[in-house]
Amino acid sequence: MTTTGVNISPQELARALRIYWEHAWPANSGACPALPQWDGLSLDHILAGFHDESEQSSHACHRFVLRLGNHLYPHMKFAVEQCVLGGDFYFLADCHDDAVSIHTSDIEAWKELRTRNYAIKLAIESAWKTRGLPTFLTASKRATGSFKKPTLTSKRILVVDDEPANVALTGAMLRAEGFGIQSATSGTDALEKTNRQKPDLIVSDYEMPGMTGREVAQAIKDNDETREIPVLICTYAEISEADLRPADALLRRPFSQEDLKSAVARLLKRSTP
C-alpha cells in the first residue's frame, strides 16, 4: 500500500514513537534498546518497515505494526491503524497479551503482569491524546453514522470492553443496525448487567484486566439463567474459536461494520427458537 489517504505525517509518527519509547522503556528500566531512527524518511519508507496486518479480515481497514515491546513484556506492539468508521488513521499501543501461553500455576503472576502491561498502554495513549496525536478514541469520536432508532422489539446487545473508545465504536456500528445497546467496562460489570437485564447477545473484548472475555463466557454458560445467551468475542490475538470456548464465536480485529453485522446476525438466528 502507498500512503495515499494515510492522514498522519512522518513527523507525527516520529513523535508518537518517541512518546511510546518514553513510557515503554523508561530510563530507570536498565534495558532500553535503541530508538528507531526515521529522520528524513518518507511515510512510505517508514511504513515499509512495519508488518502489515491488514489481511486479518476480508473487510479490514489498514493496520501496520512494529513489535517493540516494553521493559516488562517483549510482545507489545506500536500500531498505525485505520478506523473502520470514517477511515482516519490513529496510533495504538497493542498489549498483545496472548502472544505466549501460560500454565495454570502462572495465572496469578500473569494477571499481575497483564495489569501492569495495560497501565503502560494507557499511559502511552493518554500522552498521545494530550499532545494532540490521533488515538482510537479521537478517531472514533470523529466517525459518525446514521442510526436507526431501536424499537420495543429490537434485540438488545451488551458490549463489553475496558476501553471506552472500543465500546463507543462497536456500539455505533450496532446502533446503525437498529439494535438496543448496553455497555459494560469489565468482566465483573458484564456479569452483573447480564444477570439483571438478560441481553439477547454479548459482544466482548478478549484482552481485559481482571476477567478475560473467555472467562466472561465461561461464567455466562455456567449460569442456568444465562447460558443460552450467545457470546461473541473480539480480539487481535492469533487464537481460534476452539481456544475461546465456551464462547459461541470469534471475530478478529480490526473488523468492519459488515463483519460485525454478519457475525451478530448469525448468532441471533442460531439462538432464536
Per-residue confidence band for 227, with pLDDT thresholds at 50, 70 and 90: very high
Per-residue confidence band for 58, with pLDDT thresholds at 50, 70 and 90: very low
Percentage of residues in the chain having pLDDT higher than 70: 86
Supply the pLDDT for residue 221. 96
Per-residue confidence band for 188, with pLDDT thresholds at 50, 70 and 90: very high
Phi and psi angles of residue 134, each rounded to the nearest 5 degrees, phi first = -70, 135
C-beta separation of 191 from 216 below 8 A: yes
Question: 439494535: which residue's cell?
Answer: 179
Q: Provide the sign of the torsion angle of the four alpha carbons 156, 160, 165, 169, taken in this order.
A: negative
Report the candidate in 32, 95, 69 with the shortest Cα–Cα distance to residue 237.
95
Domains along the sequence of the chain with CATH: 10-139 (no CATH), 145-271 (3.40.50.2300)
The pTM of this model reads: 0.62
pLDDT of residue 59 exceeding 60: no
Supply the pLDDT for residue 62. 84
Model confidence over 139-170: pLDDT tens digits? 766 654 444 566 656 899 999 998 877 887 88
b/e code 143-163 from CB counts within 10 Å (16+ = b) = beeeeeebeeebbebbbbbbb
Rounded to whole angstroms, the Cα distance separating 114 from 118 reads: 6
Supply the pLDDT for residue 236. 80
Supply the pLDDT for residue 250. 94
Q: pLDDT: is 111 or 93 the higher one?
A: 93
Q: pLDDT: is 223 or 3 the higher one?
A: 223
Rounded to whole angstroms, the Cα distance separating 164 from 145 reads: 18
**Per-range mean pLDDT, top range of 2-11, 86-95, 210-219:** 210-219
C-beta separation of 66 from 80 below 8 A: no
Rounded to whole angstroms, the Cα distance separating 176 from 144 reads: 10
